[in-house]
Amino acid sequence: MVLVRSRPRSFSVRYTLISTARVAARSRERSMKVLSWSGRCLVGAMALATCVSAAEATAPAADKLRVVCTTTMITDLVKTIAGDAADVRGIMRPGEDPHVYDVRPRDVQLVADAQLVVMNGLHLEATLGAVIKHNTPDATVVKLAETPEITPLASEQTKGAPDPHCWFNVQYFRIYAQRARDALIAADAANGDAYRDRAAIYIKQLDELDAWVRSEIASVPVERRVMVTSHDAFQYFGKAYQIDVYAVIGISTEQQAKPRDLVRLEAIVRERGVKALFVETSVSNTLNSLVKKVAARSGASIGGTLYSDSLGAPGTEAGTYLGMVRHNTRTIVKALR
Ligand SMILES: [Zn+2]
């Protein structure tokens, strides 16, 4: 079950419930959390807007384009390109995992009020994606990773499902930037020059970052370019910068590790002489503890903590996409070299 806006956009947005076969059982369970919360305020259908707490409800700017972004990487990107010209809100907070993100009531409100929604796509947003799909009849929804310019990698562990973690190839994130810029211009032509100028500066920074990552990785001897992570988020990084990447589980943290996964990984670590394994900030402690277990059993060490599906806290180095990639690259190079 998901919350769906039942009437055209108005100040008093109304919601009803619909069932959808596309939302998996787990997704339904999460959405029911939204519904049970709403149930305290709703009898049948009533205005959700009145249920949002004062702390969560900041009125959208009346005179600016209202943009809502899903992950922290995309929020950073769109805020950088939009500057003050648009009202850009991010849904996920630092450290939150998009694969298993629990939709909050205020997210539904934000999405329903948006004129432009910018997301990753390729099923990264899972439950939130379903909420966006059913609450944006009048808004433009842009899925940055879903474009012919990006060739999705397929995952064997998920029977060929596309890998959504395209942002770890900086050249692909450059395409994200171009698409976000074009979406902003299409939705708000009056500020087109501002979006174009800011995007040009940012794209230049991405090109410099891409060159820097290549030179850093090139300093690691080829035979040592093997890394192991918690979940399989770094295949685009590995393909772009020539590192073999293995993980405890596949491309979604919804998966559970099986004993045979750990045995397989231990064998790889021993055979390839892997020096260091990496834990991640946005996955569960349980999953990270499995990485530590594999490292201990196979005589390797933990090389550090990587930011995979979420940025770090604002104000820290990893609080921006540029800083996150620099942090990850330095951590990987230091451990492997
Ligand atoms: Zn992921």
Structure token digits, residue 213 = 């990552």
For ligand 1, a single-atom ion, the residues with CB < 5 A are 233, 309
Residue-level pLDDT at 156: 65
Q: Which of 110, 109, 117 is nearest to 133 (CA)?
A: 117
What's the CA-to-centroid distance between 205 and ligand 1, angstroms?
Answer: 25
Report the share of the chain in percent with pLDDT over 70: 81
- The mean pLDDT of the chain is 85
**Domains with residue ranges and CATH for the chain:** 52-208 (3.40.50.1980), 220-336 (3.40.50.1980)
Q: How far apart (Å, rounded) are the C-alpha atoms in residues 165 and 291? A: 20
What's the CA-to-centroid distance between 197 and ligand 1, angstroms?
Answer: 31
What's the CA-to-centroid distance between 144 and ligand 1, angstroms?
Answer: 16
What's the CA-to-centroid distance between 203 and ligand 1, angstroms?
Answer: 24
Q: What is the pLDDT of residues 162-185, one digit of tens each?
A: 999 999 999 999 999 999 999 999
Structure token digits, residue 178 = 């171009």
15: which strand partners?
Answer: 5
What's the CA-to-centroid distance between 216 and ligand 1, angstroms?
Answer: 24
Q: How far apart (Å, rounded) are the C-alpha atoms in residues 118 and 78? A: 8
Q: How far apart (Å, rounded) are the C-alpha atoms in residues 51 and 142? A: 28
Whether 23 has a pLDDT exceeding 60, the answer reads: no
Mean pLDDT of all residues in 200-221? 98
Beta carbons of 274 and 268 less than 8 angstroms apart: yes
Mean pLDDT of all residues in 149-157? 84
CA geometry: angle 167, 173, 175, nearest 5 deg = 135
What's the CA-to-centroid distance between 310 and ligand 1, angstroms?
Answer: 9
What's the CA-to-centroid distance between 35 and ligand 1, angstroms?
Answer: 26
Residue-level pLDDT at 212: 98
